[in-house]
Structure 1
Amino acid sequence: MSQSPEEQDHIPTSKVQRATKFLGAGAKVGGNYIKHYAKKIVNPSLSKEELHEDNAQDIYNSLSQLKGSALKVAQMMSMDKTMLPGAYQDKFTMAQYSAPPLSYPLVVRTFQKAFGRTPEDMFDTFSTSAVNAASIGQVHKATKDGKTFAVKVQYPGVAESVSSDLKMVRPFAYRLLNMNEKEMDHYMDEVEEKLLEETDYELEVQRSIEIAAACRHLPHLHFPNYYPEMSTARIITMDWLEGAHLKEWLQNNPTQEERNQIGQALWDFYHHQVHHLKQVHADPHPGNFIILPGVTLGIIDFGCVKVIPEDFYQGYFSLIKKESLLNETELNQIFYDLDFISDRDTPAEQAYFKGVFKEMIALLGRPFHAETFDFAQNDYFQQIYTLGDRISKDKMFRQSRQARGSKHGLFINRTYFGLYSLLNQLGAHITTTKPDWLK
């Protein structure tokens, strides 16, 4: 049985403290490389597997002590199987569920600062240990007047350290993601904006209430109630949902019909947000969903919401139409509008990038091109991973003088990749509803 992560009684909050922690991780990674190449002299056939495992462990240990933006970026990267070696994916995925939690005295201090009261003053019972700890905050279970609540408490210093953390995490991101500096700069503002929003719990409560109200009519979905009077910019109080996370639920061998029902609820939830609300829950990792009794999907976190600009929406989803792949004039215009190609490209570069993006669009749009789609097709996902791996290693991409793709696509792509991944884990066969204009 795995042990719970050890509680932290201190989080480095100053720039100097956090920078020192980053530098310490960098020194360990450097030492791991020296150790690896020393061993390789003796054994030339040695693979990098042990190196990746050592680096992943050292980087995760440092980031999990820092928490906040640095750990959130690691969590985001772990969702994309094309981005990182397996050792990093396995370790960084822990940020979704089991980061080291804060010790209770720090939680009490956060309550006193926010409300002038302790948790015991506000609730009849309050768990002194976190029931779940992630990158931005941790969750405690509480009761009051016969009701059970989930209380999310943000880690100290997270909001204030977003910008400086992202500057310090860049060297790791360059190496791990194989991105050049131009690409990183192109997307970093978008990442920073979303991370700052995730630290604003008052905004999260507002969005949670609004999106839940707009999606409550959809079948087999359930949303907790939120309590603004017991919430602040650093604390959220909402209903406790009793159920199982996806991995636990799947271990109980649900029927194919039940898998399809949860999968359809997921698809319908995202379809309605993207095409009707033009804003979307953009953090579809398994930790944000709970399967409730009655085979109902509970949605428990709206910290990351992407508002979709109308012009981006029209261009992006026009690419999914089958006929777009046959209409060269329309396709070229969309590629320009979405920053896939530009006037700075040579004719050879334009031809190359148009070819690559056509291939990507045809593959990623495949579920939209049929009335139903079986997401249990592992060969389909292998094609996606193979294409992503091939592109990431391609000389033309690596030497590109500019970033490719609108910054708005960063979280929309992440959303659909996460959705597809969840549906694949479910092995769900669903009806792929789409707006009339895309049919």
Structure 2
Amino acid sequence: MKQQGSIPTSKVARATEFVKTGVKIGGNYIKHNVKKIVDPSISRDELHQDNAKDIYNSLSTLKGSALKVTQMLSMDKGLLPKAYRDKFTMSQYSAPPLSAPLVMKTFQKNFGKSPSELFDKFNISASNAASIGQVHKAEKDGKQLAVKVQYPGVAESIGADLKMVKPIAIAMFNLNEKDVDRYMAEVESKLLEETDYRLELKRSMEITRACAHLEGIIFPRYYPQYSSDKILTMDWLEGLHLKEFIETNPSQEIRNKIGQLLWDFYDFQFHTLKQVHADPHPGNFLMRADGSIGVIDFGCIKEIPETYYHDYFALLNFDNLDDKEKTDRIFRNLEFIVPSDSAEEKAFFTDLFTGMIHLLGKPFATDEFDFSDDEYFESVYAFADRLTKIEELKNSKVARGSQHGLYVNRTYFGLYSILNELRAKVTTHKPDWLVAKKAVLL
């Protein structure tokens, strides 16, 4: 893999890269429109492929929050055409790595020592490279270690990057500007947390200790003495990323076993810890032939406020949706409806969000759910597509939904997507208070 010798860190340099990307995208549209004149039947597939390539190449050079956005978008199958999803998925663990001199410089700055002075062995070539940092394999006292090295300038560029990414995302993916503005602060705060490796070290040790009883889930041990603000050292875990694992053609029994482990892992975090590993993309899970799974990267943790937790999950017990007064109160708390809504707007958004809850909460409405049900997922993507075209949402003067829902919903969407790709059937364990007493027609 081609290595990267430098990262643009100044506002001018990064802005210039964004401008270059915009020019390339504009050229791609011109090229497509000229071809369309000659051959009206031509599809937009080639345009999507060209745009995906140019956007990914540019943002993978910038690293940081710019590349993180593509990683988040690659998880959203309902938002992007396939060409974008396929290309952006590379940002999860296959971005261009930093060159050896930049890695050495980071170690000298953080420890005053080279990697060879800290470890018995250190592979200067990165094993994986993602949006915030890259991972190197090392050895110390006979232990195999994974050493995560953060890219230079990532934390300092987050605010400026998000401002530059925003108009591109709005224009290309037909996003609502009010929604983007509303959640920008939440995204920025989480991205800043991901660049704080000392915070990640603390959270990693706390959460893995709390989840140690979950049999079949393997967590690495962390090493504070070999960690710093920009470097994080942990045990090296063996396993395959989702795509590679599926290519081994695992049995349905093993698929179900791993799927069950993932469901139970998130069930425990949401309902017991009230804080959750909110970055469930395939690059953070290492799957094994025996049905066990390694979990890494606790940089993005969403702490769930108690009041939000009770309101959010109360809606997943469909009995509560029959209680109009209770539903109205929860919808107001979650900001699905707002005080300024007219009677017509209140009725419209109540119906819209009730339908959405019935659809997205369907796995919770049964004791067992088959995530290989492509018809279900197609209905979810179709609903997401319909949302982008609803005039009442486009013209609404306010953004709908609490900012806390951004990472909570993202977590469930990522989990659902992985379980779908696994073709797993799982028992949907949940607290007793989420079990509806009335039979639900699915």
- TM-score range normalised by the length of the shorter chain: over 0.9
- 2:239, 2:293 within 8 Å by CA — same for their partners in 1? no
Query: Is 1:51 the equivalent of 2:47?
Result: yes
Q: Deviations over 1:299-346 (max 9, x none)?
A: 011111000011111111011011122111111111111111112222
Q: Deviations over 1:230-278 (max 9, x none)?
A: 0011000000011222222222222211111111110110000000000
SS for the counterpart of 1:196 is: helix
**TM-score normalized with structure 2 length:** 0.96
Partner of 1:156: 152
Higher alpha-carbon deviation: 168-177 or 66-75: 168-177
Partner of 1:397: 393
Q: Identity of aligned pairs, percent?
A: 61
Query: Is 1:290 the equivalent of 2:253?
Result: no
Q: 1:423 aligns with which of 408, 419, 426?
A: 419
Query: Is 1:266 the equivalent of 2:279?
Result: no
Q: Deviations over 1:15-62 (max 9, x none)?
A: 111111111111111111222222222223332222111111111111
Q: 1:365 aligns with which of 361, 370, 392?
A: 361
Partner of 2:371: 375
Partner of 1:256: 252
- 1:99, 1:135 within 8 Å by CA — same for their partners in 2? yes
Query: Is 1:218 the equivalent of 2:175?
Result: no
Query: Is 1:228 the equivalent of 2:224?
Result: yes
Higher alpha-carbon deviation: 387-396 or 196-205: 387-396
- 1:280, 1:307 within 8 Å by CA — same for their partners in 2? yes
Query: Is 1:39 the equivalent of 2:29?
Result: no
Partner of 1:63: 59
Query: Is 1:86 the equivalent of 2:65?
Result: no
Partner of 2:409: 413
Deviation at 1:181, TM superposition (A): 2.1
- 1:70, 1:165 within 8 Å by CA — same for their partners in 2? yes
- 2:96, 2:129 within 8 Å by CA — same for their partners in 1? yes
Partner of 1:303: 299
Matches within 5 A, 1:331-346: 331-346=327-342
> CA–CA distance in 2 between the matches of 1:378 and 1:415?
20
2:159 is aligned with what amino acid?
S
Superposed CA RMSD: 1.1
1:296 is aligned with what amino acid?
S
Deviation at 1:77, TM superposition (A): 0.8
Q: Can you give the 5+ residue segments of structure 1 that lack an aligned partner in the other structure?
A: none
- 2:254, 2:290 within 8 Å by CA — same for their partners in 1? no
2:101 is aligned with what amino acid?
P
Partner of 1:320: 316
Cα gap change, 1:204/1:188 in structure 2, threshold over 3 Å: closer, same or farther?
same
Partner of 2:440: none
- 1:153, 1:235 within 8 Å by CA — same for their partners in 2? yes
Deviation at 1:354, TM superposition (A): 1.2
- 2:242, 2:287 within 8 Å by CA — same for their partners in 1? yes
1:63 is aligned with what amino acid?
L
Moved over 6 A (4+): none
Q: Deviations over 1:120-166 (max 9, x none)?
A: 11111111211000000000000111111000000000011010110
- 2:254, 2:289 within 8 Å by CA — same for their partners in 1? no
> CA–CA distance in 1 between the matches of 2:40 and 2:335?
43
Higher alpha-carbon deviation: 334-343 or 45-54: 45-54
Deviation at 1:293, TM superposition (A): 5.5
1:366 is aligned with what amino acid?
K
Deviation at 1:401, TM superposition (A): 1.5
> CA–CA distance in 1 between the matches of 2:365 and 2:177?
36
SS for the counterpart of 1:237 is: strand
**TM-score normalized with structure 1 length:** 0.97
Q: Deviations over 1:197-222 (max 9, x none)?
A: 00001111110100000101012111
Deviation at 1:352, TM superposition (A): 1.6
> CA–CA distance in 2 between the matches of 1:233 and 1:71?
20
Query: Is 1:14 the equivalent of 2:5?
Result: no
2:190 is aligned with what amino acid?
K
Between the two proteins, the alignment pairs up a number of residues equal to 435
Matches within 5 A, 1:21-36: 21-36=17-32
Higher alpha-carbon deviation: 96-105 or 43-52: 43-52
SS for the counterpart of 1:393 is: coil
> CA–CA distance in 2 between the matches of 1:293 and 1:252?
9
2:12 is aligned with what amino acid?
V
SS for the counterpart of 2:43 is: coil
> CA–CA distance in 1 between the matches of 2:159 and 2:422?
36
SS for the counterpart of 2:56 is: helix
